[in-house]
């Protein structure tokens, strides 16, 4: 994870530099806040990558001389179909659209999202 950590740390550093520069040359606070927020997002990924690397050590993916045989077995479990994404999307759409059309719609949307989130728990059969 070292290259990933460095990559995102670099991104975070860039935004710190540009954010502080912008502040020093007299930039308005909105832009300063947004640039520093960008630092935080870059830092978030960098921090996560660093922590993961610390806990799990070097991966085969980090080595130049790795081959598929170094990581045999199951890569992960990937569902091929699920009804939840579309129903959740309907629910979220209803919640947001309800802001414009009326609270009954938002309430309905919340109900859909809640029920589908619950069903998602049982949706692990891939």
Partner 1 sequence: MTALDPDRSAEPLGGVDHDQLVSVDDVLAGGDDGGDDGSGGDEHGGHDEGLPKTITGWLTTTDHKALGIAYAITSLIFLAIGGSLAGVIRAELAEPGEQFVSEQLYNGVFTIHGSVMVYLFAVPFGFALANYLVPLQIGAPDLAFPRLNAFSYWLYVFGGLIMLLGFAADGGAAAFGWFAYPPLSGAGASPGLGADMWIVAIILTGTSGTLTAINVIATITMLRAPGMTLFRMPIMTWNLLVTSFMVLLAFPVLSGALFMLQLDRLFGFRFYDPTDGGSPILWQHLFWFFGHPEVYIVALPFFGVVTEIFPVFARRPVFGYKGLVLATLTIGALSTSVWAHHMFVTGEVLVVFFALTSALIAVPTGVKVFNWIGSMWGGSISFEAPMKFSIGFLVTFVAGGVTGVILASPTLDYHLSDSYFVVAHFHYVMGGTVIFALFAAIYFWWPKVTGKKLSERLATWQFWLLMIGFNTTFFFMHFLGRDGMPRRVPDYAPVDNFELWNRIASFGYLILVASVVPFVIAIVKSFRAPVTEGADPWEANSLEWATSSPPPEHNFDWLPPIRSERPVFDLRWINHDEVGNPDVAEAWVDREGIADNWRPLAAELAGDPPTTTEGDQP
Site residues (CB under 8 A) for partner 1? 1, 3-4, 7, 10-11, 14-15, 18, 22, 25-28, 30-31, 34-35, 37-38, 41-42, 45, 49, 60-86, 88-90, 92-93, 96-97, 99-101, 120, 123
Q: What angle do CA 35, 39, 41 make, to 5 degrees?
A: 110
Q: Least CB distance from residue 114 to partner 1, whole Å?
A: 15
Residue 65 has which token pair?
């001389």
Neighbours of 5 (CB within 10 A): 19
Q: Least CB distance from residue 79 to partner 1, whole Å?
A: 5
Q: Least CB distance from residue 61 to partner 1, whole Å?
A: 5
82 contacts: CB under 8 Å, gap ≥ 6: 123
Residue 60 has which token pair?
């085969």
Q: Least CB distance from residue 125 to partner 1, whole Å?
A: 11
């Amino acid at each position: 994870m070292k290259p990933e950590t460095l990559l995102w740390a670099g991104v975070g550093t860039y935004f710190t530099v540009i954010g502080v520069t912008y502040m020093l040359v007299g930039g308005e606070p909105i832009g300063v806040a947004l640039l520093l927020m960008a630092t935080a997002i870059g830092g978030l990924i960098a921090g996560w990558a660093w922590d993961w690397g610390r806990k799990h050590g070097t991966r085969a993916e980090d080595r130049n001389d790795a081959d598929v045989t170094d990581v045999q077995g199951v890569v992960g479990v990937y569902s091929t179909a699920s009804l939840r994404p579309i129903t959740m999307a309907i629910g979220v759409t209803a919640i947001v659209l309800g802001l414009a059309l009326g609270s009954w719609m938002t309430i309905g949307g919340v109900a859909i999202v809640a029920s589908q989130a619950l069903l998602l728990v049982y949706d692990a059969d891939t």
